[in-house]
Amino acid sequence: MENILEELVERNRYLTSRGKVADYIPELAKADSKALGICIIDLNGQVYKSGNCNDRFTMQSISKVVNLICALEDNPLDKLLSKISFEPTADGFNSITSLETKNANKPLNPMINSGAIVTVSMLNGNTGKEKYERALEIFKKMTDNEDLKLNQDVYKSEKATASRNRALAYYMHSTGIIDGDVEDILEAYFKLCSLEINCIDIANIGAVLANDGISPITGEVITTPQIAKTVKAIMSTCGMYDASGSVAVNIGIPSKSGVGGGIMSSVPRKMGIGIFGPALDPKGNSIAGLKLLSDISKTFDLGIY
């Protein structure tokens, strides 16, 4: 298996030169644009790795998946659905326009920034700090990494350049979708985006979801089969932003990307896949990572449709 992974990583590495590392958060621009790595964890707990699989990067939008798991644990579904929909969008991940023009002020889904900020606002806890700490418990379990930490430089950079996220959050506060202190909630959202991980950590998240909420490594029940199913469905329809449709057609694996270069994928009842390649395509997805995922899907016949 590792020989095949090695071959696929090296075959696709040239694509990194066709993408661009995210620079709208200045600290992210420091990533090694040539990096490409992968980790697969199957449901027997076997771990397969190749390429830059130990490189550290920040969670960014992959955090939205774990935030959603946590919000579904902490709220009845109808309460969550009163604040957020589960519908895909063809708009970009930080789009402002859809909030006012579509769907009566509710964010269309939890995988875009507006939806993720609402998701964080609904976590258990009275303050942003308590919400962050509540989410961190689940992040540590999902990644099987007790040492999960914040990258302080990315966090500060993210916070200093977040006018767009502030605009989304204050707008949603004005319409009553977000309750409480907006800055406090944004603080928790920025911190969760800035958690530092590697391919192994995110392969673990995918593997727990693939195994209906139970860690194949530790055997711990982390969430319910119903929540795992809901989250995988939302990853399939919304996880790769406005490329979600083509990823479903061409790759067919529920996945979630982040602008740090990560892609976290979950093949139901088979495996979790974590990929890192910080050079991004124009939609914000890892350019070489997506082609690597496509090759893996074809080689092992993993598409779910």
- Min dist CB 29 to ligand DON, Å, is 13
Q: What are phi and psi of 43, to 5 degrees?
A: -80, -5
**Cα 55 from Cα 53, distance rounded (Å):** 6
Footprint of ligand DON on 90-149 (CB under 6 A): 93-94, 113
- Min dist CB 1 to ligand DON, Å, is 28
The site that binds ligand DON (CB under 6 A) totals a number of residues, namely: 12
Which residue in the set 40, 197, 238, 259 belongs to the binding site for ligand DON (CB under 6 A)?
A: 259
The single residue of 50, 61, 194, 266 carrying the catalytic annotation is: 61
- Min dist CB 156 to ligand DON, Å, is 13
Identify whether 170 is a catalytic site residue. Answer: no
How would you classify the pairing of strands 271-276 and 262-267?
antiparallel
Q: Which is closer to ligand DON, CB of 48 or CB of 93? A: 93
Identify whether 241 is a catalytic site residue. Answer: yes
- Angle, helix 182-193 to helix 113-121, in steps of 10 degrees: 110
Residue 193 found at the interface with ligand DON (CB under 6 A): yes
The single residue of 9, 21, 64, 231 carrying the catalytic annotation is: 64
Stretch of residues binding ligand DON (CB under 6 A), selected from 33-41, 138-146, 176-184, 251-259: 251-259
Stretch of residues binding ligand DON (CB under 6 A), selected from 172-180, 219-227, 252-260, 288-296: 252-260
- Min dist CB 220 to ligand DON, Å, is 27
Q: Which is closer to ligand DON, CB of 94 or CB of 98? A: 94
**Cα 180 from Cα 190, distance rounded (Å):** 17
Which residue in the set 158, 196, 242, 281 belongs to the binding site for ligand DON (CB under 6 A)?
A: 158
Footprint of ligand DON on 33-92 (CB under 6 A): 60-61
Residues that bind ligand DON in the complex, under the rule CB under 6 A: 60-61, 93-94, 113, 158, 165, 193, 257-259, 284
Catalytic residues: 61, 64, 189, 241, 259
